[in-house]
Amino acid sequence: MTDLLERARSWIEADPDPETRKELTHLVEVASSAADPAQRASASRDLAERFAGPLEFGTAGLRGIIGAGETRMNRAVVLRTTAGLARYLLATDEAAARARGVVIGYDGRRMSREFAEDTACAFAAAGIPAILSPIPCPTPVTAYAVQALGAVAGVMITASHNPPEYNGYKVYWGNGAQIIPPHDKGIAAAIDASPAAKDVPRSDLDAARAKGLVRSFPNDLDDRYLAAIAALSVRGDGDRSLSIVYTPLHGVGNRLVRAALAAAGFSRVTTVPEQAEPDGAFPTVAFPNPEEKGAMDLSFALAAREGATIVLANDPDVDRLAVAVRRPEGGYVQLTGNQVGTLLGHYLLTRTPACLSDDVPVEDAGKKLVIASIVSSPMLGAIARALGVRYEETLTGFKWIANRAMDLERAEGAAFVFGYEEALGYTVGTLVRDKDGIGAALLFAELASVIQAGGKSLLDELEALSRRYGLYASGQRSVTLPGTEGLAQIQAAMDRLRASKPSRVGALAVLALADFQAQIRTLPDGRTEPLTLPKSNMIALDLEGGSRIIARPSGTEPKIKFYFDIREPMTPGEAIAAAESRAKTRMTELEKALSAIVGI
C-alpha cells in the first residue's frame, strides 16, 4: 500500500491539471487516513485500479475512463502521448513533420476540446504545426482532412460509442488510415520514453496561433468533404421525397448529415430533437451505441409519428451507421451491420438493385475490389464473386481494411469500391480511409429512394438477394471469463479447438481449419496452405454449404467470442420464414456442437 500511495503522490506532483490533482489528492487522503476502514479499503481499491499500469497504446491509440491516474484518460496522459508521437514523427521524417503538420479533430465528449488543445500545444512546442478543428467534428472528417490537407498524421479525440465516462486518442498515419504495425509499436516505445507530464513542453495556444504553429481547418473543408461524398452517388433518380428520421445520439453528426442529405434532394428529414445537439452526458441513452437495446427508442417513436420509410442513426463520432426500416405490418426493424453492408455493397457493384432487374455489373468488374472484416458475413463475398469482382477479407478492425485496399491499389491497380465490418462500419470508395457514417448514410438513403421508386421495400430487396445467393444468417456468442483463471480458460478453449481439428461440427463437414496464429490453413486430407493475414489468436472453420465458424478472444475484454455464419439455400417459391427457421435451428445446433468441442 505504501508503494501505491507513493506512486499516486508522484503522479500528483507531475500532473499539470489542477482538477485531476485535486481528485487524486482526495483519494490518497481517504486511502491513507480515513477513520472508516471500509472507506479506506474502497479508496485503496480505486487507487490500485488507477495505477494498474499505463493506459496501453495500441493500433486504435488510447481509450479509457476519464479521471486521474495512469490507467485513465487525462491531460497528463494526453501530453505524454503527444510528446511520444511528436518524437516518433520527427525521427521518421523530420522535414515532413515540420512542413506538413498534424491534423487534430475532437468530438463532443467531456474533455475532448481540452485534450485536443493540449495536443495542439504539445505539437507546436515540438515544432510540428497543428491543424486544429475549430469546433467538434466527426471522425470521418478528421480522417478525410489528413489526406486533403497533406498532413503527416492525424489525431482524433474520441471514444466513439463507448459509455459517457470514456474518452480516447486515435492516431492516423499520413495516408489517412489508422496506424498499423510497425508504427503502433514505435509510437508506444516513444511514449514510454516521454518525460513526466509537467516536463512536456507546451506552447501557449494564442502564442502558437500567432506564430502559425496552430491553425484551424480551412473554412471550406466541410464543403469540400460534402462535395466529395456527393460525387460517390451511383444514381441520381429515385424517390427523394421519402421520409427519413435521423438521430446523431447526442453526437456531432447532425449538421453534416443533414447538409449532405439536403444537397442530394432529400427534403423530408427529421432529426430526433432530444438528441440533435452534442452532449457528452448522453442524457437520453444508457449507452450511446445504436446497437444497444433502447438506444433508438426515441427514433422509432418519431418515425412512427412521421410515417418514415427509414431511420438512420450515427454513433457519437459519426463513424458508424445504423439503419432501421418500416415493416409492412407496421413498426420498425433494425437491420444488422451485415444486412446494411450487403445491401450497400450490392448496390455499389450493380447499376440496378436485384429486385428491379437482373444484376448488371459495372464496367471493369475485374478491377473492382470490395473488402470485409473476416467476422462479417460471407454473403458480400458470394455476391462479388458472382459479379466477377475481387473480394478480400482482413482481420477485425477498419485499419486493416483501409491499409489492405491501399496495398492492392498500389501493387495491382485495384479499384476499391466498398469496405465494411459487421459492427456498423462502412466506407465507400477512397475518399475516407476509415469508417464513414456520413457517406454511408447518404448512399443508403439513395439506395432506399431507388427501391421505393420501384414500388418495393428494402426488406423486399434483402429477400431478393437471399433467393439469389442463399439466405445468410449471422450469430455471435460471447463468454466472459474474468481474471487470470478466466484468461487461462479462454486460451485452453482455443488450444482444444486447434488440437481437435474437428472433421464435423454438428451436421456440417469441416472443409478447412484456418489457424491465424500459426498462419496455416489445414484441409481435410491433411494438406496445408499458408495464410497471408497478420498473426492473430483466431481460428476459422469453413463448413460445407458456405457456412462458417470463427473463434477468437476479445482484444479489449476478458471474453472469448464465437461468430456463426449460416448459409441456407432457398427453393423457388419457398417462404423466406421457412428458410429463416431452418437457419435458426442450424445455428443452435452448431453452437451446441462447438461448445462441446471447446469445453465452454
Q: Which residues belong to the active site?
A: 160
CA proximity to 444, closest of 267, 234, 227:
234
Distance from the first to the final alpha carbon of the chain: 37
How many residues can be counted in the chain? Answer: 600
Task: Give residue 344's identity as a one-letter amino acid code.
Answer: L
β pairing state of 504-505 and 471-480:
unpaired
* 270 C-beta neighbours (distance < 10 Å), count: 17
| Burial environment of residue 46 by CB neighbours within 10 A (0 to 12, 13 to 18, 19 or more) | middle
The answer for residues whose C-beta is within 8 angstroms of residue 323's C-beta and 6 or more apart is: 310, 311, 312, 313, 334, 335, 340, 444
**Helix (H), strand (E), coil (C) string for 216-263:** ECCCCHHHHHHHHHHCCCCCCCCCCCCCEEEECCCCCCHHHHHHHHHH
What's the rounded Cα separation, in Å, for the pair 349 and 353? 9
CA torsion 353-355-359-361 (nearest 10°) is: 0
For residue 515 the three cell numbers come to: 489457424
For residue 517, what are the CA distances in angstroms to 376, 392, 404, 600? Answer: 19, 19, 19, 20
CA proximity to 175, closest of 451, 496, 406, 4:
406
What's the rounded Cα separation, in Å, for the pair 39 and 60? 36
Q: Is the dihedral of CA 551, 340, 547, 396 positive or negative?
A: negative
The answer for residues whose C-beta is within 8 angstroms of residue 444's C-beta and 6 or more apart is: 310, 312, 321, 323, 340, 343, 344
What's the rounded Cα separation, in Å, for the pair 98 and 397? 30
Q: Which residue has the cell 435451428?
A: 585
For residue 98, what are the CA distances in angstroms to 127, 131, 143? Answer: 6, 12, 20
For residue 46 the three cell numbers come to: 480505486
Q: Which residue has the cell 501557449?
A: 204
CA proximity to 345, closest of 326, 369, 322:
369
CB 262 within 8 A of CB 442: no
β pairing state of 390-394 and 520-522:
unpaired
Q: Which residue has the cell 466513439?
A: 160
What's the rounded Cα separation, in Å, for the pair 425 and 146? 19
CA proximity to 246, closest of 269, 280, 274:
269
